[in-house]
Amino acid sequence: MSGDLSILSLILEASVPVKAVMLLLLLASIASWAVIFDKRKLLNEAVGAADGFEANFWSGVDLADIYAEITDEEQTTLGMAGIFESGFREFGRLRHEAGMSAGQIIEGARRSMRVSQMREVDRLEHNLAFLATVGSTSPYIGLFGTVWGIMNSFISLGNVQSATISMVAPGIAEALIATAMGLFAAIPAVIAFNRYADQVGRLEVRYDTFMEELSAIFQRTSGRLETAGGAL
């Protein structure tokens, strides 16, 4: 307990610039943890939704039934389901336009899916840059507080005849606390950024693979319609 009280007293008695550095690092740490928990929930939901949709998609259910089920839902369709919805809707629209070749229909559906995928990836990547910023800058901000505290300690030595360790210890201690707070803010942010960036990348690959598979299904469907003389 005495160690906790001494650390608290060092923080309270620190110089104004060092206090400002500590406050900034504390706010950065709180904000980064808020982003970490929010992003964890979002990515877990995205992975679960992708797993569920793929299981339904490859279960043999008719694509029109899947589309009807998605469009009947009140909430906005996101993730892999949103990519499917945009592609299937565009495929159906272009298929009934006169003069459209099979290649043009597939390309139009692919563009629509690509736009939906980019929006989804952007949603998943939101605030990841903040974690990267906190992780990369917090140690330097803490180092600034450290340098300032040590500098003040050595300046104070110029006003005394004989220096002792007890005279400079408080200033050095408060300076090292700033460094520790910088690391405390940076390390979780860096770990979370690397983990979440990897998860977003894996989801993006899954979305790309699904788009290629769905495009192949559209192409086979268009080919059968052309062979049968159906209207595209």
Per-residue tokens: 98? 């006169």
What is the arithmetic mean of pLDDT over 80-100?
88
What letters, b where the CB count within 10 A reaches 16 and e where it falls short, cover 45-66? ebeebbeebbeebeeeeebeeb
More confident residue, 175 or 49: 49
- For residue 6, the model assigns a pLDDT of 66
Q: Does residue 231 have a pLDDT over 60?
A: no
Distance CA 94, CA 13 (A): 71
DSSP string, 131-166: HHHHHHHHHHHHHHHHHHHHHHHHHHHTTSSS--HH
Q: Which residue has the higher pLDDT, 71 or 53?
A: 53
Query: Distance of CA 88 to CAs 25, 84, 93, 170, 171, Å?
Result: 48, 6, 9, 68, 66
- Helices 63-72 & 79-95, crossing angle to 10 degrees? 120
Q: What is the pLDDT of residue 168?
A: 66
Q: What is the pLDDT of residue 226?
A: 56
- Give the per-residue pLDDT at 23: 92
- Residues 86-107, mean pLDDT to the nearest whole number: 86
Min mean pLDDT across 107-121, 166-180, 190-204 is at: 166-180
Distance CA 208, CA 165 (A): 63
pLDDT class of 94 with cuts at 50, 70, 90? confident
Residue 218 and residue 106 in contact, taking contact as beta carbons nearer than 8 Å: yes
Helix, strand or coil for residue 198?
A: helix
Other CB atoms within a 10 A radius of the CB of residue 16 amount to: 8
- Rounded to two decimals, what is the model's pTM? 0.82
Given a cut of 60, whether residue 104 has pLDDT beyond it is yes
Percent of the chain with pLDDT over 70: 85
Pick the range with the lowest mean pLDDT from 25-39, 82-96, 182-196: 82-96
Q: Please provide the average confidence, as pLDDT, over all residues in the chain.
A: 85
Q: What is the pLDDT of residue 33?
A: 96
Q: For residues 43 and 131, give the distance between their C-alpha atoms in angstroms, rounded to a whole number.
A: 15
3-state secondary structure of 31: helix
